[in-house]
Amino acid sequence: MEPGVIVFIVIICVYALGSELFRRYYEAKYEGFFNTGHYGEALAALDKIPARVTMSTYRQYYLRFACYQAMDDEEMATRMIELLVRMRNSARRQATLLPVAFNYFTQIGNKERAKELLSDLKACKAADKATITDCQLTYDIVFGKRYDYIDQMEKMLDKAAPSLQGKLCFLLWKQYANKGSKTHAKQYKRRYEELTNSSKSQGER
């Protein structure tokens, strides 16, 4: 093999290894800041040139979305999730992303955008049927004023994983509000907010 070819191969290998090491370093740095509630520092880590060069655009936008959402920066979180949804993603990636975007817009009360994303999810070939059913039910409760899942969700609540409890409380809050039971609606709204704030405060320690 020609010496020039060998040198070229070595350079390519070194570049690939270096890129992977830089990517892992800055992702770990971001996660360290994010998990301790230092969101400004987490975003600053993503702004570093090595992070921009080695991370995919999709990954950068997704991490920024998570950070802005945790910061309650609705304008920037919306901008990031819209950029993600409008990217040329594979069907499999889009099937994973669309429910995230749908739940985000549902939580901020954007009915029109949530409806569009639900339609996109149903049209996505790689979408899971159970996920579509879950999103449809969420839409019907939040925007369609349904409240016939109260008993079922209350039974699920105590046994649910912490990551699911927040969503159940959110949906129970909305259902009791739809039913006109202000007292129960306030109780579940308070519990939902406590779970959300608890999740953030755990990251800030």
88, pLDDT greater than 90: yes
The token pair that represents 42 in the structure block: 């987490």
Choose between 202 and 63: higher pLDDT: 63
Mean pLDDT of 182-198: 91
- Split at pLDDT 50, 70, 90, the class of 11 is very low
pLDDT digits (tens, 9 = 90+) for 171-189: 999 999 999 999 999 999 9
**Structure confidence by residue, pLDDT tens digits, 95-151:** 999 999 999 999 999 999 999 999 999 999 999 999 999 999 999 999 999 999 999
Model confidence at 8: pLDDT above 80: no
Please state the rounded mean pLDDT for residues 29-51: 90
Q: Any residues with CB less than 8 A from the CB of 157 and at least 6 apart, and which? A: 165, 168, 169, 172
Least reliable range by pLDDT among 12-26, 31-45, 152-166? 12-26
Q: Which ranges constitute the DSSP H helices of 3-70?
A: 3-35, 39-47, 49-54, 57-70
Residue whose tokens read 């839409």: 139
Nearest CA-CA partner of 124 in 171, 88, 90: 90
**CA nearest to 58, candidates 22, 24, 19, 86:** 86
> To the nearest whole percent, how much of the chain has pLDDT over 90?
69
- How much of the chain exceeds pLDDT 70, in percent? 84
pTM of the shown model: 0.84
